A = this chain, B = another copy of it.
């Protein structure tokens, strides 16, 4: 019944598999080609009904589909993306390869729909940046955040963000009943956040949760002008509620706090805003494999292929 087809390159990693899973519920788009990023891997049989076999890399097969998803490791996507574009195939790259480049449209869907409609190559946002930019962009656009003091974005992610490769870092014994900050001051996502927020006044710290999926970012911002934090929190909440009122995947809480369990296995972003002393504390939760990766990638591909934006995602 699907009228359009797509290829997934890097289909054996967490985000590739999540895309395969989402597409089994998509009535207008089917994954007809699934490949690893390597030319020497044995084919892996489907894990779910309606899934294709995951074959070894064969770029010629990209000519047979309508759109291309790249879920390859960072660094490996650029060449394949250019090949797909040359074949005229709209491409969503989930790696970091084009996120700081003018070659691609940055696919934070709710903020880039006009550009996405005409795009050939989409740089799908990183998981941490998605959780930070969705709440911050409307507030920065409305100048509701004072930048005399830096914005603090303290983010916590499940282990799936570290990928499927076995390492000391992902060993159960090092994750379970543990917690730590990492990449303090040096994480690759910092320049991505700065570029797309339009300001370098954001200090970002990622942490590793003893959980598999989900990101929660706790963001501390200073009100502008002489307003109280309570008043500023209300203004910011109203701004976000208005901005996202028609968005199917963004929910702004009137009260209460988002939890990972509210957004896991969804393409949603849940946002709360509260005053705390002189600051406003914004919390935003997404599924790092959903809105933070495969979900948003499918949302973008739907736009590229002129399919309903929410198809396969509700």
Contact = CB atoms under 8 A, between A and B. Distances in A.
A95 interface: no
Interface in A246-284: 257-261, 264-265, 272, 274-279, 281, 283
A248 to B, nearest CB: 8
B160 A173 contact: yes
A212 B172 contact: yes
A176 B213 CA distance: 11
Nearest to A215: B179
Interface stretch (A107-115, A130-138, A162-170): A162-170
This chain's copy number in the assembly: 4
B257 A179 contact: no
A59 interface: no
A220 B166 CA distance: 32
A257 B169 CA distance: 13
Contact of A279 (B148, B203, B210): B203
A76 interface: no
Interface string A29-67: 000000000000000000001000000000000000000
